[in-house]
Amino acid sequence: MEWGKKMNYVDLLIRGSDKTNSIVCMGADPVLERIPIEHGSTEAKITRFYEQIIEACKSEGALPAAVKPNYAFYAQYGFEGLDALKKVCKLVKKEGIPLILDAKRGDIGKTSKAYAKEVFDFWEADCVTIAPYMGTDSVMPFIEETIGKERGVYILNRTSNPGASDFQDIEAGGKKNFEWVSDSIVKWADTALGNVGAVVGATSMQELEAVVRAFVESGKQVPLLIPGVGAQGGSAAEVIAALKKAGYNLKIARINSSSGINYAYEKQGTDDFAGAAVKVIKELNKEIGGL
């Protein structure tokens, strides 16, 4: 680190992409019925599943550039699931790649502050997804926890789910709601430059390019978490084309695939779930191309 330079999440992302030569983010969303490990407790099955995938990625030189556990997929199994989450978080931290806790938190100020402490101090996540619906006093406690640190927040901006248009596409004051959120993300970024990012789905290239162009024109580095690739049908190649067209720094983006990687063995017709996951990551890396 340069003398006098403040640490930020962008630095961690760039180191992660340099280390792995990738910008793929692997979602880690356990569904017990789809985990082909017969024996052991819920905690043991989930932990071994991701441990074997990560080990296979390492041995094949295909470690993802970030891992994103979705909190709800662990919490559904009670304390055993949460114990597994703690172990998965430690596995990822050990590899020195960004750990993104997909928790989608957001509440009144005091509650958000408590959630932020849980995310960064207990789970030891490097970054968290948050919802902006309740406004600035809901968002700022998370951002404040990142100041001067290699921590970040990804704010839900334009999501990839089918119902996203219900509210995100409503027009007010000449803009759609998701565009107002983009503007707010740029303003909130002033508090912790390099730590405030956006979740923008891969299911509409036109909207993705418009949002990214606004970030680039702001002159601020806004990390992107891009879901919707793989099982949801988005194309990594199309995403990269849109990012390049907007003049975006690819190394601070993370293109996420969850079930498309986790349960690739089902589609490939093999029992080697770890090898199948590695194969998909390699395919995504090839589709993305050079950084």
- Which residues have a catalytic role annotated? 104
Instruction: Kindly give the residue spans of alpha helices, DSSP state H, lying in the chain.
Output: 9-20, 42-59, 71-75, 78-94, 109-117, 136-144, 165-168, 177-188, 205-218, 236-245, 259-262, 264-268, 273-288
Beta bridge partners of 175: 172
Residue pair 42/32 in contact by the 8 Å Cβ criterion? yes
φ and ψ at 174, to 5 degrees? 85, 5
* Gap between the Cα atoms of 209 and 12, Å rounded: 24
DSSP letters along 255-291, please? EEESHHHHTHHHHHT-S-HHHHHHHHHHHHHHHH---
* Gap between the Cα atoms of 83 and 44, Å rounded: 9
Residue pair 248/219 in contact by the 8 Å Cβ criterion? no
Residue pair 156/102 in contact by the 8 Å Cβ criterion? no
